[in-house]
Amino acid sequence: MSLHPQYLESFLRTQFYMLRMDGPLPYHYRHYIAIMAAARHQCVYLINMHMDEFLNTGGSSEWLNGLEYVPQRLKNLNEINKLLAHRPWLITKEHIQKLVKTGENNWSLAELVHAVVLLAHYHALASFVFGSGINLERDTVPPNGLHLVVKNKFCVCDLANDNSIENTSLTSNSTENADYESEIEVLMERMKKLQEEREEEEASQEEMATRFEKEKKESLLVVSGGNLISVIYTSFDNDVVSVSNSSRYIEDPGFGYKDFARRGEEHLPTFRAHDYSWEDHGFSLVNRLYSDIGHLLDDKFRMVYNLTYNTMATHEDVDTTMLRRALFNYVHCMFGIRYDDYDYGEVNQLLERSLKVYIKTVTCYPERATKRMYDSYWRQFKHSEKVHVNLLLMEARMQAELLYALRAITRHLT
């Protein structure tokens, strides 16, 4: 993230506020909720970080043995943690009512909003961690068992789909470089053409709706990897959790992402941002129930959405607005969220298939991300530009989760 210092400052300010400043939840609860969220994606890097923080803020070491050792009210977050992480569109006001109903294990609305913000933050952060190749590795030096260290290295998973990403065959360097350069030229030409078409003629609302449905259905055809063959770490150190036992912090580990627009299923209505948006609805609700967090989140969303250096690989003075919007809106499209004023035809024009595979994997199944997926798209772009993509994906995912949860809370209130 330090490649983008403006964004990093906003991110750290928000995370510091969630974890360390006054708020509805006790400090040790905050770190345990972070562990529960990271465990949904087996994100050992984040789990271990917050195990230490949990103990440092007075948490009981017994709780780290698993969910059966924690208070019932924390266990009650399991359902919303699971749905937020994998299928947020299934969250209803009934889920909220169940958590806040009167009783000894109930949550206040303020506490629940704090918990939801933490869950969404750490689900999305797991996407960034895996998407950027931040991984735990065995350290071969110590003779007394395993010591886990963090390195920027992707999981060495063997994914069936990894071999089918198009255009990744190795050729001579000179041919490759020419291909890469032409990829950028093609992308820039498409951006220019789309801009001209937009200025000449605007598509009708019916046409825009049709293009959204088409893109939503086409996202079904973007297949992520097969079942993850994970690198299993066996730890001899009680202070370090491994991939194999991260499931102690979740229930129903087999529950995962399923496409919003599954074939033959029409019962799930599209979430129209026009009816419930972050700017007009989510922001004020979250700010009212958890003071000031709305301003910090809003700043972070705006920061990443507007962040630009006006470059694309070796090209300068490029307006990348269209590309950034396509990335953000494609993530929301996979979560069933539609913007009435956006032409989803642009997504297909601007995001090539290997990039879509990467986006879907990092957003929906981050634990399956591999280096080959990362390398296969935008091959001439700088690493910092690809990190910027990951920041956009992370924030788009977090906002999508929050929109569904906050809409359910609004419905509960009304």
Catalytic residue set: 43
131, amino acid identity: G
User: Which residues are 147's β-sheet partners?
Assistant: 139
Measured in degrees and rounded to the nearest 5, phi and psi for residue 403 equal -60, -45
CA distances for 280 relative to 98, 132, 403, 412, angstroms: 26, 32, 11, 18
Query: Scanning the structure block, which residue is given the tokens 């990894």?
Result: 162
**Backbone CA torsion sign across 402, 408, 412, 414:** positive
Could you give the CA distance from residue 349 to residue 354 in angstroms, rounded to a whole number?
13
Chain centroid to CA 394 = 4
CA distances for 274 relative to 14, 269, 300, 333, angstroms: 26, 14, 21, 14
CA distances for 44 relative to 66, 99, 286, 404, angstroms: 14, 28, 29, 27
Measured in degrees and rounded to the nearest 5, phi and psi for residue 61 equal -60, -25
Closest by alpha carbon to 180, among 382, 373, 379? 379
Could you give the CA distance from residue 361 to residue 223 in angstroms, rounded to a whole number?
8
| 147-152/315-316 β-pairing | unpaired
Residue-by-residue DSSP string for 142-171: -SSS-EEEEEE-------GGGGG-TT----
